[in-house]
A and B are shown apart, each in its own frame.
Chain A
């Protein structure tokens, strides 16, 4: 069935280093992907999205890479800051039309000061 999974459930990074959070998706027909950040006690916050006709998209300090050949998505955070500590979810939009997004379990990013 449709599923989105993550390779690493937890990630600890030194402040100032770059972070890479990985995600595998199973539906090769999914055409839209989003990364969300969720802090404790809050709802998921949109970070960046990418459509399937792209393989890379950059935002402010973040970059998303999409490899459709191996159905892999990654989020790169440059110069990681303590405020980046949160749970990160990737989500895919399957082509079925009326299911907005399918989320994975998430990766917890801990930034060590």
Chain B
């Protein structure tokens, strides 16, 4: 069974730039969620995708957007990067939608640094 994989592992961008982070879901999982984890904090929910559509969103501005593909892989896009966007970005997949109480399985994240 293949776990959740994310790429790249580390990334450095300049303020104002755009970034795309990628995630491959765990085999058999059809729901993907993205979380932002600032240093010393717990993960904060960004959004969730199911059947290629966003079906839940946390308190993040529209410059955070995403996609889910037919093979359940996903992208997180962030436009107009700000210094506060520096964080670990975590992708998680689950077998069913969150409301059905299926645990999330996380990748090891992408460490984004905005300078």
Whether the pair B105, A46 counts as a contact (CB closer than 8 A) is: yes
In the complex with contacts A49-B103, A98-B56, A42-B43 CB distance below 8 A? no
Whether the pair A102, B45 counts as a contact (CB closer than 8 A) is: yes
The segment from B13-21, B62-70, B79-87, B93-101 that touches chain A is: B93-101
Whether the pair A98, B48 counts as a contact (CB closer than 8 A) is: yes
Whether the pair A103, B109 counts as a contact (CB closer than 8 A) is: no
Whether the pair A51, B101 counts as a contact (CB closer than 8 A) is: yes
CB contacts (< 8 Å) of B106 on chain A: these are 36, 43-45
Q: Is B44 part of the binding interface, using a Cβ–Cβ cutoff of 8 Å?
A: yes
Task: Produce 1/0 per residue, A41-57, CB < 8 A to B.
Answer: 11111100101000000
Give the complex CA separation of A13 and B27 in angstroms: 37
In the complex with contacts A31-B101, A93-B101, A43-B56 CB distance below 8 A? no
Interface of B with A (CB < 8 Å)? Answer: 4, 33, 35, 40-45, 48, 55-58, 90, 92, 94, 97-99, 101, 103-109
Given A42-B109, A98-B99, A100-B48, 12 other A-B contacts at CB below 8 A? A4-B42, A31-B101, A41-B108, A43-B109, A46-B103, A89-B43, A91-B42, A98-B56, A99-B45, A99-B48, A99-B56, A101-B45
